[in-house]
């Protein structure tokens, strides 16, 4: 972890497949994880499970210490760029649902229009970036 307060826990890896089975069955659509608190091997494992189960991946990085940088350097890694795209897509989602809940990232309407999650993320990412440009 960036603050040194948390270490990667191997035992947690042993039940991830079961966890993903359960949350898929419960209807979850997304998973959040903290890259700074996981090894690259653990991240790749989580990413693989997300792909297998069709989960949207969200960065769970947070700032909870004054000595922690606001800039999360690990997200500069090209293997984690999907998390940057996801952040923009979430902004796009917020913009669209302000006007119409049927325009949400996981609404029936949007899933029908863009059944491929990656395509949908790119559409919502564009909407998110446009929102920021509108406010500047």
Q: What is the mean pLDDT of residues 90-99?
A: 95
Residues in the chain: 136
| Start-to-end CA span in the chain (Å) | 33
Q: What's the pTM?
A: 0.84
Mean pLDDT, rounded, for 83-98: 96
Task: Measure the CA–CA gap between 80 and 76, rounded to whole angstroms.
Answer: 7
- Measured CA to CA, the distance from residue 71 to residue 59 in angstroms comes to 13
The values of phi and psi at residue 6, to 5°, are -130, 140
Residue 2 has pLDDT above 50, yes or no: no
Domain ranges of the chain: 1-69, 77-136
């Amino acid at each position: 972890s960036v603050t040194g307060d948390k270490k990667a826990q191997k035992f947690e890896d042993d039940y991830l497949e079961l966890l993903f089975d359960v949350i898929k069955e419960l209807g979850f659509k997304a998973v959040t994880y903290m890259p700074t608190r996981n090894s690259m091997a653990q991240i790749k494992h989580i990413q693989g499970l997300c792909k297998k189960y069709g989960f949207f991946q969200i960065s769970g990085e947070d700032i909870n210490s004054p000595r922690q940088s606001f800039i999360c350097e690990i997200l500069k890694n090209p293997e984690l760029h999907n998390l940057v795209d996801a952040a923009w897509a979430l902004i796009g989602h917020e913009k669209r649902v302000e006007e119409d809940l049927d325009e949400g990232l996981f609404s029936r309407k949007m899933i029908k229009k863009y059944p491929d999650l990656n395509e949908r993320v790119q559409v919502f990412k564009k909407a998110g970036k446009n929102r920021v440009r509108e406010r500047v």
